[in-house]
């Protein structure tokens, strides 16, 4: 079992997808995803979970705050997310991240290409 998306954006383990998104958050200068509302699993305390509304708006939020197993990314959001991922692409480390991430840059480039394909076709990226 794993995450499959339309437009060949992602095919792989849920855990790898989440590690990839954690790396995106890190490279974008965002708080760790495990502290964000919707991802935080600890007891509620002052400042935790961090609310997305506290952060500067970014198209990356759509990807980072998205379910890892269902739903969709609207086609109109695909190009802005791809643009932001392209800015981060040079910051990804060379090589892999283990556990189904053979190469950080390759999996990011594949996701960008899938987003661009979906945007051009005016089709939502489906998660299943």
pLDDT at 95 over 80: yes
Q: pLDDT tens digits for 21-60?
A: 999 999 999 999 999 998 999 998 898 999 999 999 999 9
Residue 49 lies in a domain: no
pLDDT at 98 over 90: no
pLDDT of residue 97: 80
pLDDT at 4 over 80: yes
Residue 66 lies in a domain: yes
Q: CA of 89: how far to CAs of 27, 48, 106, 114, in Å?
A: 9, 29, 9, 15
pLDDT of residue 5: 96
Q: What is the domain range of residue 90?
A: 3-30+58-127
Residue 37 lies in a domain: no
Yes or no: say if 19 and 33 are a contact pair by the CB < 8 Å rule: no
Residue 72 lies in a domain: yes
pLDDT of residue 109: 98
pLDDT of residue 99: 77
Residue 44 lies in a domain: no
Residue 67 lies in a domain: yes
Q: How many domains is the chain partitioned into structurally?
A: 1
Q: What is the mean pLDDT of residues 88-115?
A: 93
Q: What is the mean pLDDT of residues 12-27?
A: 94
Residue 93 lies in a domain: yes
Residue 26 lies in a domain: yes
pLDDT of residue 1: 61
Average pLDDT, the chain: 94
- Tokens at residue 35, please? 């502290």
């Amino acid at each position: 079992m794993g995450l499959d998306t339309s437009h060949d954006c992602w095919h792989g383990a849920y855990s790898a997808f989440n590690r990839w998104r954690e790396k995106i958050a890190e490279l974008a200068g965002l708080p760790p995803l495990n502290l964000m509302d919707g991802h935080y699993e600890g007891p509620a305390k002052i400042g935790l979970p961090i609310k997305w509304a506290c952060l500067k708006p970014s198209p990356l939020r759509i990807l980072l705050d998205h379910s890892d197993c269902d739903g969709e990314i609207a086609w109109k959001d695909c190009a802005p997310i791809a643009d932001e991922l392209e800015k981060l692409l040079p910051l990804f480390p060379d090589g892999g991240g283990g556990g189904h991430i053979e190469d950080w840059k390759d999996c990011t480039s594949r996701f960008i290409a899938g987003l661009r394909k979906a945007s051009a076709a005016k089709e939502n990226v489906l998660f299943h």
